[in-house]
Amino acid sequence: MKKINTKVILLTVIFSLIFFWTPLPYFIEMPGTSEDLRDHVIVNGKKDDYKGSFMLTTVAVRQATPFTFLTSFFNSKQELVSKKEMMGNSNSKEYDQMQNYYMKNSQNMASKVALDLLDKPYEMEYKGVYVMSISDNSDFKNKLTIGSTISHIDGKKIESSEELINSVQSKKVGESVTLTVEEDNETKEVTGKLIELDSTKKTGVGISLIDHTELVSSENIKFTTHDIGGPSAGLMFTLELYSLLSQKDIRHGLEIAGTGTMNSAGEVGRIGGIDKKVIAAEYAGADVFFAPDDPISDELKEKYPDIKTNYEEAVVAVKANKLNIEVIPIKTVNDAVKYLENKK
pLDDT in tens, 118-164: 999 999 999 999 998 899 899 999 899 888 999 999 999 999 999 99
Alpha-carbon span 38 to 40, nearest angstrom: 6
Residues 6+ apart with CB under 8 A from 11: none
Region 258-278: mean pLDDT is: 96
Helices and strands counted in the chain (H then E)? 10, 18
- Work out whether strand 123-134 and strand 79-82 pair parallel, antiparallel, or are unpaired: unpaired
- Residue 3: what pLDDT? 53
Q: Please count the other Cβ atoms lying within 10 Å of the Cβ belonging to residue 53.
A: 22
- Residue 314: what pLDDT? 98
Which active-site residues does the annotation give?
232, 277
Identify the architecture of domain 125-214 in CATH. Answer: Roll (2.30)
Residue 2 above 60 pLDDT?
A: no
Q: Which fold has domain 30-88+102-121+219-342?
A: Ribosomal Protein S5; domain 2 (3.30.230)
- 251 and 316 Cβ atoms separated by less than 8 Å: no
Region 197-216: mean pLDDT is: 91
DSSP assignment of 105-142 equals HHHHHHHHHHHHHTT---EEEEEEEEEEEE-TT-TTTT
Q: With bands split at pLDDT 50, 70 and 90, how would you rate the model's confidence at 1?
A: very low
DSSP assignment of 230-255 equals SSTTHHHHHHHHHHHHHT---STT-E
Per-domain boundaries in the chain: 30-88+102-121+219-342, 125-214
pTM of the model: 0.89
Map residue 308 onto helix, strand or coil.
coil
